[in-house]
């Protein structure tokens, strides 16, 4: 029958669809996923996770890239991990590769009896549903947040208390927390009367969409069909990344620390700390070494400016931070560090009592803030790039891989 195509052969499907006058967008997406999935399955050994002692895990790449990617993963728990380099070494598959490796590190596949094919299908779908044309909210950001989350899960105050479910939820939420992000913010969706804004009643619009998209992919992959209550807990974590709820979480966190009443034996308290850890991971760019931090700063501002250009094009009021003529990168970053990052990471340092990593992060944050301040005062046109991408790093120019803590 002309209506039943062989879905094991993407080319057959594409040809049949073309004869019928084109491919529906949903079908095209499935074809892309299928092609991508088959490439992973047949051309790599990623399903077993990439480990340093198995340089063949990415053998569809050049051997030199393989060795470098494997070497990088052997240091995936260090804070100066260069996710941009890792993404290039894995041919744009940093999120899938990193998640497979971390699931391997924690033995989560065995613990939760996960089907490897379903897991890889799900991770491929998540990576695919990030918009690669977004300067900031893309799969590399998701991989960066996941790597930061791994560093936080290893914090001495947390590591011994966490259950396998906590780790599983933390990594999954980090990987999927911005999936299908449109590259514009919630106020833009509301004022343009976007269907997502009305669907979620103008409340945590993007975060709700990220969560429900993740649930859709989980159900489509069948990955967690044998596990209960995962969807709601994932939702609770992803919804916590709504920046408009920053003060709500920060005040609760501060209150717990002031009262010294956090009991990590309690599942509810561990879940709250996972929410805080994800919030930290999501906004940790100012806490990275300057060369990495600067790249993220330029990317997020470029995304803001693109939204501002859209608003100007459609004769809408330009949103705060989105006017390239008025909002310079240094000014945006100094405001973000002062009002969002600094207060959060100061409390996180208190929570870690303080750890070597939290000291390192705050050290970078203060240096980066000073660096942006000096650039703000320097005579340059607003909204322009602060450095060329190849320029030597600033305050941390002496840092080498492995010298950073922990």
Catalytic residues: 137
Q: Bin 222: left if φ > 0, else alpha if -120 < ψ < 50, else beta.
A: left
Q: Are 136 and 300 in contact (CB under 8 A)?
A: yes
Distance of CA 277 to the CA centre of its chain: 13
Alpha helices in 154-185 (DSSP H): 156-159, 164-176
- Of 268, 274, 212, 269, residue with least CA distance to 240: 274
Task: Give the end-to-end CA distance of the chain in Å, rounded to a whole number.
Answer: 61
Report the alpha-carbon distance of residue 200 to residue 178 in Å, rounded.
Answer: 16
Q: Is the dihedral of CA 295, 296, 297, 299 positive or negative?
A: positive
Report the alpha-carbon distance of residue 233 to residue 239 in Å, rounded.
Answer: 10
Report the alpha-carbon distance of residue 308 to residue 301 in Å, rounded.
Answer: 10
Q: Are 367 and 395 in contact (CB under 8 A)?
A: yes
Report the alpha-carbon distance of residue 165 to residue 240 in Å, rounded.
Answer: 18
**Residues marked as binding for Zn(2+)?**
141, 177-178, 282
Q: Is 17 helix (H, G, I), strand (E, B) or coil?
A: helix
């Amino acid at each position: 029958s002309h209506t039943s195509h062989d879905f094991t052969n993407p080319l057959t499907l594409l040809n049949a669809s073309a004869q019928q006058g084109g491919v529906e967008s949903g079908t095209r997406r499935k074809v892309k996923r299928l092609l991508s999935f088959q490439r992973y399955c047949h051309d790599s050994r990623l399903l077993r996770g990439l480990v340093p002692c198995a340089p063949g895990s990415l053998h569809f790449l050049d051997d030199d890239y393989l060795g470098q990617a494997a070497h990088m993963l052997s240091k995936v728990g260090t804070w100066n991990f260069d996710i941009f380099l890792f993404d290039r070494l894995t041919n744009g598959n940093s999120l899938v590769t990193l998640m497979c490796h971390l699931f391997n590190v924690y033995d989560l596949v065995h613990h939760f009896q996960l089907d490897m094919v379903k897991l890889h299908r799900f991770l491929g779908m998540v990576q695919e549903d990030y918009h690669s044309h977004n300067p900031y909210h893309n799969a590399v950001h998701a991989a960066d947040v996941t790597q930061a989350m791994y560093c936080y899960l290893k914090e001495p105050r947390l590591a011994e208390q966490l259950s396998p479910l906590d780790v599983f939820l933390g990594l999954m939420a980090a990987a999927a927390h911005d999936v299908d992000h449109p590259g514009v913010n919630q106020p833009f969706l509301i004022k343009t009367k976007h269907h997502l804004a009305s669907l979620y009643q103008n409340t945590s619009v993007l975060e709700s969409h990220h969560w429900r998209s993740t649930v859709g992919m989980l159900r489509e992959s069948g990955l967690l069909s044998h596990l209960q209550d995962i969807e709601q807990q994932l939702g609770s974590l992803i919804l916590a990344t709504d920046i408009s709820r920053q003060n709500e979480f920060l005040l609760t966190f501060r209150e717990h620390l002031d009262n010294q009443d956090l009991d990590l034996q309690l599942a509810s308290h561990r879940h709250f700390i996972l929410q805080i850890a994800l919030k930290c991971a999501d906004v940790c760019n100012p806490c990275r070494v300057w060369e990495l931090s600067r790249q993220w700063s330029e990317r997020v501002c470029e995304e803001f400016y693109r939204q501002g250009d859209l608003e100007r094009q459609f004769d809408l009021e330009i949103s705060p931070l989105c006017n390239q003529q008025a909002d310079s990168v240094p000014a945006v970053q100094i405001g973000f560090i002062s009002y969002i990052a600094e207060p959060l990471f100061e409390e996180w340092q208190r929570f870690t009592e303080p750890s070597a990593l939290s000291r390192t992060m705050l050290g970078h944050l203060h240096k980066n803030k000073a660096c942006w301040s000096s650039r703000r005062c320097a005579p340059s046109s607003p909204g322009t790039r602060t450095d060329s991408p190849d320029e030597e790093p600033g305050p941390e120019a002496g840092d080498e891989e492995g010298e950073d803590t922990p």
